[in-house]
Structure 1
Amino acid sequence: MSQYTATTLTITSNNQTSYAYRRFGKTGTIPVVFLQHFRGNIDNWDPALVDDIAAEREVILFDNSGVGRSTGTTPQTITEMARGALGFIDALGLTTVDLLGFSLGGFIAQEVVLLRPHLVRRLILAGTGPEGGRDMHGWKDDIRSHAIKDVQGAEDIYYLFFAQTQNSQAKGQEFVGRIFTRTEDRDETPSLATRDAQDEAIIRWGIPNMGKLARLAGITQPTLVANGNNDIMVPTVNSYLLAGHIPNAELIIYPDANHGFLFQYPHEFAGEVNRFLNKA
């Protein structure tokens, strides 16, 4: 099985939400549940990253409530998105998971751990930041013009996720090629209503409040924090804040990289993820 070929399945939770998901990789391991970025769906996960992790761990990719092929309505708060993720995990009958949250998914992952600390064994926070962090209260106009465009194209991915250097942009083109290689059983593009709800939730999360950093002491799980050295969507300083306030955290910063560092360095980051998750 691979991100290129895994079948898209559905499961219905107690709240009658039907969640779309893919589950594959090394069976008999603690599954890694992936939490996706703003406007992303299952097919926006890089096969190069996911398949490398799946070689050593079972991976679960899913659409949260109202996203892609999942039913229901997309919530307007991170806490309710976390409850949606918990509804999905509960529907699968999982009692122990590892979480990998990217961007918006990293906000949700933090809330999942704080709401259900006994569920999560290890946590990976990629290209994300704490509630009330620095320069997170809405995007600058140039970033926003790409992020909320009704119909996005490859040029928006290159701008938002990759540094404005020849090497990074070339890696961006490779990434776009990978995520559009799959042609059968593709996920549905998230709706504009989902975009608007997620946008509101992100803005609320980013209201400046350094007092909110105290909440991070509640995340006692081993945590891997990673980012590019010049993230324009969730400024890199916020990764330092996470690593500094989560009691058992380690930090990796990738050079010449923007928000999508994990897609620019998919094999390298997957190797770090596997190393981190395979620790005793």
Structure 2
Amino acid sequence: MTNTAATEIDDTSSAFTPNLTIDVGGAPMLYRRTGRSSHTVPPLVLLQHFRGNLDYWDPLLLDTLAADRDVITVDLHGVGGSGGQTPDNVSDMTRNAIAFITALGLTEIDLLGFSLGGHIAQEIALVRPRLLRRLVLAGTAPQGAPDLHRWSEDVYRWATGDVTAPEDFISLFFSGSDDGRQRAWEYLARTHTRQQDRDPESSLACRDAQFQALMTWGIPESAKLQRLSAITQPTLVANGDNDTMMYTKNSQLLAENIGGAQLRIYPDAGHGFLDQYPVQFGQHVRQFLGC
């Protein structure tokens, strides 16, 4: 693996944020907290994608987001270094995320959900509407949306193997252009800058439970789209222009069904657009959140 762009990360970066744990429902949850407290904006909580852990967040994205606010990343139960068992449905994952936020004593947050994390973020907005100030939905899709239930053969192979090779990850998350592949290797180098106290890879049991949750969420049911009208928080929906996992058209569907939602589509990018353009996306999020 090339070390391109690793020099952009220094020892003050969120890449080296200490691991923290908190008991939630009798099992420890691993999380990290970076940035600084603000008197004007609430903490920003980030929820990760299928099989991802704390070390999958791009340090450049976190550093950009944490320039003037408190940023919290977390492994839900059964993910990475957290204890407990991974739920096999989004509703229970949502309760788990809310329990974590409550355990930290937070009464208002901004929330960014990526992919599966975006499914959970939508549910939090619906069942705890007064908890969220603003919402960012990245590379995700509404429940029951078209073409979610059965991934293509390529996406299934890249996403669910017992071991995810770098080339599989790049094919799933990044565009196939020369620039996209270069940015992919730079991302992988940045996320491996941290060598001490890395977050363990999620288990195969976690993979299987999360996959079941994703497939259940994706069972086609157009009536589920009506639920989105209840999301009244200011919302930013973002994706790459060629997401082959959640499909870019479903981000457009989200924006159409959440009143007043902003939509931003990034060119020459796929499901992992926020890793391909971490600083640009981070700046756009900060602008949206009012930082």
Q: Which bin holds the TM-score, normalised by the shorter protein?
A: over 0.9
Please say if 1:88 is aligned against 2:100: yes
Please say if 1:191 is aligned against 2:203: yes
Please say if 1:3 is aligned against 2:7: no
Whether the aligned pair in 2 keeps the contact of 1:22 and 1:61 (CA below 8 Å) is: yes
Task: Tell me the equivalent position of 2:131.
Answer: 119
Runs of 4+ in 1 over 2 A off after TM superposition: none
1:155-170 counterparts in 2 under 5 A? 155-170=167-182
Cα deviation digits, residues 83-110 of structure 1 (max 9, x gap): 1100100110000001000000000000
Indicate the SS of the match to 1:111.
helix
Whether the aligned pair in 2 keeps the contact of 1:56 and 1:274 (CA below 8 Å) is: no
Distance 2:201 2:283 in 1: 29
Distance 2:117 2:181 in 1: 24
Instruction: Flag structure 2 segments of 5+ consecutive residues without an equivalent.
Output: 1-11
Q: CA RMSD in A?
A: 0.9
Task: Tell me the equivalent position of 1:103.
Answer: 115
Q: Which moved more, 1:252-261 or 1:24-33?
A: 24-33
Report % sequence identity: 52
1:152-231 counterparts in 2 under 5 A? 152-231=164-243
- Identify the match of residue 24 of structure 1 among 22, 34, 44: 34
- Output the amino acid matched with 1:5: F
Q: So what's the TM-score if we normalise by structure 1?
A: 0.98
Indicate the SS of the match to 1:4.
helix
Distance 1:2 1:71 in 2: 26
- Identify the match of residue 41 of structure 1 among 24, 43, 53: 53
Instruction: Flag structure 1 segments of 5+ consecutive residues without an equivalent.
Output: none
Distance 2:191 2:254 in 1: 29
- Output the amino acid matched with 1:2: S
Distance 1:73 1:39 in 2: 14
- Output the amino acid matched with 2:152: K
Indicate the SS of the match to 2:33.
strand
Distance 1:3 1:67 in 2: 20
Distance 1:172 1:269 in 2: 15
Indicate the SS of the match to 1:198.
helix
Whether the aligned pair in 2 keeps the contact of 1:228 and 1:259 (CA below 8 Å) is: yes
Please say if 1:143 is aligned against 2:155: yes
Distance 2:125 2:247 in 1: 22
Task: Tell me the equivalent position of 2:23.
Answer: 12
Please say if 1:61 is aligned against 2:61: no
Distance 2:72 2:13 in 1: 12
- Would you say how many aligned residue pairs link Structure 1 and Structure 2? 278
Deviation at 1:270, TM superposition (A): 0.4
Cα deviation digits, residues 1-51 of structure 1 (max 9, x gap): 5321110000012x2121100011021241000000000000000001011
Indicate the SS of the match to 2:288.
helix
Distance 1:238 1:166 in 2: 26
Q: Which moved more, 1:252-261 or 1:16-25?
A: 16-25
Cα deviation digits, residues 229-268 of structure 1 (max 9, x gap): 0001100000000000001210000000000000111111
